[in-house]
Amino acid sequence: MTENYDVIIVGTGAGGGTLAHTLAPSGKRILLLERGDFLTRESENWDPGPVFVDGRYISPDTWYDGAGTPFQPQVHYFVGGATKLYGAALYRLRPQDFGELRHADGVSPAWPVSYDEFEPWYTKAEWLYQVHGVHGADPTEGSWSRQYPWPPVSHEPRIQEISDALERGGYHPFPAPCGILLDEADRAASHCIRCATCDGYPCLVHAKADADIIAVRPLLGMPNVTLLTRAEVVRLETDPAGRTVTGVVVDRGGDGKEEVYRGDIVVLAAGAANTAKILLRSASDASPAGLANGSDQVGRNYMYHNSKAAVALGKEPNDTIFQKTLAINDFYFADGDREWPLGNIQMLGKSNAMAMRGEEPHLTRLAPEWSLDEVAKHAVDFWLTTEDLPKPDNRVTVERDGNVRLTYSDTNDSEAAGLYDEFRKILNHIGMARHHVLHKNFYMSMNVPIAGVAHQAGTCRFGTDPATSVLDVDCKAHEVDNLYVADTSFFPSIGAVNPALTAIANAIRVGEHIAGRLGVSASALAWAPEQRRAPAGTTETSTPAKRS
Ligand SMILES: Cc1cc2nc3c(=O)[nH]c(=O)nc-3n(C[C@H](O)[C@H](O)[C@H](O)COP(=O)(O)OP(=O)(O)OC[C@H]3O[C@@H](n4cnc5c(N)ncnc54)[C@H](O)[C@@H]3O)c2cc1C
């Protein structure tokens, strides 16, 4: 292949898809390389059996843990990446997360930018991904320059009861920010039908604000954008000095036949583990430890949250359909009574018997279907997240067979236990003292906890010091002049809220920086309203924003 692109982007998920969307109006020639395909719309999208029991949308990769035991990671190789399956809970980090925070197991390091510097891109991300919510309701949140585009998703009666009970108990529940294409004021025009299958399922009606629907599909048909699917990037080639990427080597179809694509700028956004893998596999005489890895930081500091799914069983049935409308950050930080930060509590998608069986095969193996049905009917599902710390020995390396080896041990278990204690007190306040906690990582893991890689981050952190970071503040590799990383790899710390909005905001930020480097003015990046296409599979001509 001899054609030269202005920008080659590897991966079409939260990072890569959003970055392509940012740059596309500039007219620059963009090549998107995606190892997966479009996720097929089929009845199985919403069927918990295929989704949770059969793992239909989990890619058949083999990775190894630190002891060399193989496992199947919960990764999703599609246009849109992990966001095709995500729960679309789109939180900002707290301002303090951008600074240094002390934890039970060590220090969560500061970012090289402050929350206030990052804030404009959070706002852009919330408007692009059509987030529903209300700024000002969560006492721990930072300043915001613009309200969310859509009002919060309304609570169903059972969740409203819980919210009211929490307030009476002195807590500060707030509406969870959610990226769905829902218009509650005009249900007939709404793409989203407010079903129970958002979290962990692909959206059959394309009403979830994922990177495929929001960022990539609007680019199809643009003359300056090329998307190649089933195009797995295996390594990068450089000039002899290792300072410039000269070729992106792609395996199309897994038959070992390679093609090489050329671009002035190359952006890796293959997800935190796979981006590290590509860099490590790009070792050369000039970069013997892997590309951009003179600091030996590539692949290190892997984080994925210390999380727990907790299912509380009440006496009264829980008829809620769309459950992810409530969250609470009262325990996010240390205070006078609490020595350490504990984390965030939010709702999970409503469980059902089949999903419970799929996610917890050991626990539920002996339970007859009817009893699980009964359990699911009364279940209220919560998700508890404690920050995971970046540890140099929690890392991605590449095995001799070319697959990822993920060496990992938990951090902040005592904080996670503290959060669970607080959660139990909450249950007393809301009349749900009878409860049962399912295995850690309800939606993120299968049998092997380390397989729950949904919130993977940190393997190429950004910073000002080339000795301790892989990327500079613009997410350009310190050691390579035309190489950027724009997925969750760049996180120096992960906070205790879901990571996608931060990845999206950063991708817009990096995209704007690259545009500037290519001589594109900020105004040339604006999407004209008529350019903005309807989310595929819907009948609308635009994705309206309700607030101004
Ligand atoms: C079930 C589930 C629920 C989640 N829920 C939430 C949530 O509610 N809120 C939230 O904030 N986050 C959630 N997440 C996490 C969120 O989806 C990720 O943090 C986010 O998608 C990460 O963005 P990324 O760009 O780093 O990676 P991805 O979005 O995964 O994108 C990586 C892309 O690179 C492609 N790729 C990989 N290797 C190669 C290669 N070698 N060559 C070419 N292409 C390659 C992949 O196919 C993929 O398209 C969830 C994740 C899962 C799995």
- Which pLDDT does position 442 carry in this prediction? 35
Q: Which atom of ligand 1 is nearest to the CA of 250?
A: 42
How do 225-228 and 30-33 pair as beta strands? parallel
Confidence of residue 441 (pLDDT cuts 50, 70, 90): very low
Confidence of residue 433 (pLDDT cuts 50, 70, 90): low
Ligand 1: residue whose CA is nearest its atom 3: 86
What is the C-alpha separation between 329 and 137, in angstroms, rounded?
11
Neighbouring-strand partners of residue 174: 327
Q: What percent of the chain has pLDDT over 70?
A: 90
Residue 320 pLDDT > 80: yes
Confidence of residue 440 (pLDDT cuts 50, 70, 90): very low
Residue 281 pLDDT > 70: yes
397 Cβ neighbours under 8 A, 6+ residues apart: 280, 299, 404, 405, 407
Mutate to test the pocket of ligand 1, among 19, 32, 33, 35 (most ligand atoms within 8 A of CB): 35
Q: What is the pLDDT of residues 40-88, one digit of tens each?
A: 999 999 999 999 999 999 999 999 999 999 999 999 999 999 999 999 9
Neighbouring-strand partners of residue 150: 132
Mutate to test the pocket of ligand 1, among 19, 33, 85, 86 (most ligand atoms within 8 A of CB): 86
The answer, yes or no, to whether any atom of ligand 1 lies below 6 A from the CB of 15, is yes
- Which pLDDT does position 451 carry in this prediction? 87
What is the C-alpha separation between 36 and 34, in angstroms, rounded?
6
Ligand 1: residue whose CA is nearest its atom 20: 500
Mean pLDDT calculated for residue range 489-517: 98
Average confidence score pLDDT of the chain: 91
Per DSSP, the three-state class of 417 is: helix
Tokens found for residue 117: 């510097």
Q: Which atom of ligand 1 is nearest to the CA of 16?
A: 25
Residue 448 pLDDT > 80: no
- Which pLDDT does position 395 carry in this prediction? 98
Mean pLDDT calculated for residue range 329-336: 95
Q: What is the pLDDT of residues 395-404, one digit of tens each?
A: 999 999 999 9
Mutate to test the pocket of ligand 1, among 18, 274, 461 (most ligand atoms within 8 A of CB): 274
CA of 88 to the centre of ligand 1 (A): 12
- Which pLDDT does position 342 carry in this prediction? 98
Mean pLDDT calculated for residue range 528-546: 47
φ and ψ of 470, to 5 deg: -95, -35
The answer, yes or no, to whether any atom of ligand 1 lies below 6 A from the CB of 347, is no
Residue 333: burial class (beta carbons within 10 Å; 0-12, 13-18, 19+)? middle
The answer, yes or no, to whether any atom of ligand 1 lies below 6 A from the CB of 359, is no
CA of 453 to the centre of ligand 1 (A): 9
Q: Decide if 127 contacts 146 (C-beta within 8 A).
A: yes
What is the C-alpha separation between 299 and 267, in angstroms, rounded?
17
Q: What is the pLDDT of residues 349-362, one digit of tens each?
A: 988 877 776 666 55
- Which pLDDT does position 435 carry in this prediction? 52
Residue 515 pLDDT > 80: yes
Q: At CA 285, angle to CA 283 and CA 287, rounded to 5?
A: 50
Is the dihedral angle over the CA atoms 48, 196, 345, 407 positive or is it negative? positive
C-alpha distance from residue 11 to each of 293, 300, 442 (Å): 21, 21, 26
Q: What is the pLDDT of residues 236-254, one digit of tens each?
A: 999 999 999 999 999 998 7
Q: Decide if 190 contacts 184 (C-beta within 8 A).
A: yes
Q: Decide if 267 contacts 7 (C-beta within 8 A).
A: yes
Q: Which residue has the higher pLDDT, 98 or 316?
A: 98
